[in-house]
Amino acid sequence: MTLRNKILVLVAVLAVLAGVAAASLLHAADRADKKNQVQAGGPQVGSGKVSLAPGSGQRIVFRNMAWGPHRDELATVAATDPAGPRTASGMKCLRFYAAAGTGICLQAERGAVTDSYRAVVLDAGLKERAHYSLPGIPTRSRVSPSGRWVAWTVFVGGDSYAGTNFSTRTAVLDTRTGQLTASLEDFTATLDGKEHHAADTNFWGVTFAADDRHFYATMATGGHTYLVRGDLAARTVTALHTNVECPSLSPDGTRIVYKKRVAGLPADAPWRLYALDPATMRETALAEPRSVDDQVVWQDGNTVAYALAGDYGADLYTVPADGTGKPRRLLTAGLAPAYLP
């Protein structure tokens, strides 16, 4: 082939490839645009004032995922009528949690080229009290029952060829003093009675106790996950149990519901919800037969709520925490719920 012909072939194929690339880009842009239009039959969403303060009837606050202008905004719905009209706050969050008038919103911040992420601590009126930049993609957030302590977890990864390494960073913040522990890896860890330090140690899914001193979380190292009990004053974590991810402590502190890897399940859906009594380490399987990849929240002393994949990203479900009953759908097109008294 002469050089001229080679260049002709190159230009011809280049035109085809550019056409395919442009078509895929337009298609994706068009689809992204559709998500900004309200779907018929979807939940009713209107703008309004959202307050995290207790008092105006029990509500659920969550990330509204219904398509339309309020997609991804923090919204509330009456706990007695979860399928009813939603009030959207205008504030966008990827992950959210709230307790006692303190909110934590993990949000994307549009940059010139790529999004960056930040954690915003909110007061009861959704006003920003402080913000912190995040080193990765938000995945979990929690506030202590008193509203004083806040924790979040992000994914950090993809820096090697073909992105094979994923790790997490979990931060703990004392909103009273402003003291931030950027990574729980700075705490002294004890595993099997020995001090443990390994480069592969990762933490995720903090849940706080009511005493504002203790917490539980998942620690992963050496291919295993552990339930750890942490002490915010002593800055220590101690492994108590194995195969526990994303623990969530009951309001009375007597039970932990978590996701457990169960042998024999497919590798992409390996989890089932279990309840653990930390006093006896007795495990009870909950009645949800599907794989749950979420950190549950307690609706009350007896029921937990969690997200499962749905048509518009995720739907929320509830199931009794004692292994009885059946899962029920709480609401569609929602994620990251918190119950406001």
Q: What are phi and psi of 16, to 5 degrees?
A: -65, -50
Binds other proteins (CB under 8 A): choice among 86, 169, 241, 255: 169
Interface mask (CB under 8 A) for other proteins, residues 276-315, using x and -? -----------------x---------------x---xx-
- Check binding of 182 to other proteins (CB under 8 A): yes
Residue 14 backbone phi and psi in degrees, to 5 = -60, -40
Q: Which two tokens stand for residue 174?
A: 């004392």
The interface region with other proteins, picked from 25-33, 40-48, 279-287, 315-323 by CB under 8 A, is 25-33
25 binding other proteins? (CB under 8 A): yes
Residue 263 within binding range of other proteins, rule CB under 8 A:
no
| Residues 6 or more apart whose Cβ sits within 8 Å of residue 259 | 245, 246, 271, 272, 273, 274, 292, 293, 294
Q: Does 194 bind other proteins (CB under 8 A)?
A: no
Q: CA 285 → CA 38, 192, 273, 305, 331, distances in Å?
A: 39, 26, 6, 15, 23
Four-residue CA torsion sign, 147, 271, 316, 115: positive
Nearest to 89 by CA among 129, 126, 130: 126
Q: How far is the CB of 69 from other proteins (least distance, A)?
A: 14
Three-class secondary structure assignment of 315-337: EEEEEECCCCCCCEEEECCEEEE
Under the binding rule (CB under 8 A), the answer on residue 199 touching other proteins is yes
Check residue 160 for interaction with other proteins (CB under 8 A): yes
Shortest CB 152 distance to other proteins, Å? 12
Within 10 Å of residue 202's Cβ, how many Cβ atoms? 21
The amino acid at residue 266 is P
Asked if 262 interacts with other proteins (CB under 8 A), we say no
10: contact with other proteins by CB under 8 A: yes
Contact mark string toward other proteins, 88..127, x via CB under 8 A = ------x------------------xx-x-----------
Interface residues with other proteins (CB under 8 A) are: 1, 6, 9-10, 13-14, 17-18, 20-21, 24-25, 27-29, 31-32, 35, 94, 113-114, 116, 133-137, 139, 155-169, 182-183, 196-200, 202, 204, 220-223, 225, 245, 266-269, 293, 309, 313-314
